[in-house]
Structure 1
Amino acid sequence: MNSAEFEKVIDEYGEHLLKIAYFYLRDRETGKDIVQEVFISFYSAADYEEQGKLRAYLTKMTVNRCKDYLRSWSFRHLQFRNSWIETIHTERDPLILQEEKSEIAIAILKLPVKYREIIIFYYYEEYNMREVAQFLNLSENTVKTRMIKARKLLKVDLSLDYWEVLSIE
């Protein structure tokens, strides 16, 4: 892959991958680091042959890196402040500003990762339940159960107008 092709890949998928990483990690800077690692790995992988959609491949790499980070010692031993969620809303990154202003996005960010990822892939990536299950290496019933639980948790945080958006399938 030459540098012009690689730059095109970054331009086309960078914003999408940053949003995915942000929704997983709830930290813009760490999300940028993860996306950068994904692109470095992709560029270094000379043996990559496109067998499906490049977007899905890069998304899967990003999700796996995010999960690895969330399991890491450094993440698990961080001390979070009570005002942590408030700091998310005060950052002014134009890439995610639109997402942060949304009451739905804020409620999704409060969900635990195992519920958040189901919502992200179902509503934002528009995968069906079977595709989400395959993508996350879970059974379809597990995905459905987590979706039910995620919706219950979101219903508590969302006003009726926003809840109606998510309750329609």
Structure 2
Amino acid sequence: MDEAQFEEIAERYRDNLFAIAFQYTKNAADADDMVQIALLKCYQAKKPFENEQHIRHWLIRVTVNECKRYLVSPWRRYTAPIGDYAETLGFENPEQSALFFAVMELPQKYRVPVHLYYYEDYSVREIAKALGLRESAVQTRLLRARQKLRQKLEGWNDD
């Protein structure tokens, strides 16, 4: 892979990878680090990629693996409050802000499939493959995440 190809890939997937890494780390700086590691591994990869879908899947898989590795490392001592990062996002309306915080309060095993399904437009099959789960497990996690979000956001409109 030459530099021009790598720069194009990095530009195209950086934001998506950051969003996925943030779902795991809940910290912008750590999410940036995970994305950099994934992109570095892509640049150093010896095998050729078959197509765009293969690159995208490979980068997501590497990012997820790096995040999991990070979460069990002893270096993970302090994470910044989620509110600090949320202030930088600039939501268009209060509903978007409430939804963001509700999703971020979900357990990690629900946050990542929700992000991939609703924000990245991945199918259940693609999510299962990327996360190393069965399709039924992904469907169950999405169902439970929607139930938890419904419970959290139910009273929001009443206020």
- TM-score by length of structure 1 reads 0.77
Matched, 1:150 2:145: yes
Q: In the TM superposition, what are the counterparts of 1:71-150 in structure 2 within 5 Å?
A: 71-75=72-76, 78=77, 84-90=81-87, 92=88, 96-98=89-91, 102-150=97-145
Structure 1 unaligned segments of length 5 or more: list them: 163-169
Greater shift, 103-112 or 26-35, is seen at: 103-112
SS at match of 2:75: helix
Cα offset for 1:19? 1.6
Structure 2 unaligned segments of length 5 or more: list them: none
Residue by residue over 1:22-59, the C-alpha shift from the partner in whole angstroms, topping out at 9 and shown as x without a partner, is 12211100111111111111111122332561222211
- TM-score by length of structure 2 reads 0.81
Higher RCO structure (Cα 8 Å, ≥6 apart): 2
Cα offset for 1:64? 1.4
2:21 alignment partner AA? A
SS at match of 1:8: helix
The answer as to whether partners of 2:27 and 2:79 remain within 8 angstroms in 1 is no
Matched, 1:64 2:42: no
Residue by residue over 1:62-114, the C-alpha shift from the partner in whole angstroms, topping out at 9 and shown as x without a partner, is 11111211222332xx2568xx2332323x2xxx5459x63222211111110
Q: What's the counterpart of residue 4 of structure 1?
A: 4
1:41 alignment partner AA? K
Q: What's the counterpart of residue 13 of structure 2?
A: 13
Q: What's the counterpart of residue 43 of structure 1?
A: 43
CA RMSD after TM alignment:
2.6
- Distance across 2 between alignment mates of 1:127 and 1:9: 18
Moved over 3 A (4+): 96-99, 159-162
Q: Work out the number of aligned pairs and report it.
A: 154
2:135 alignment partner AA? E
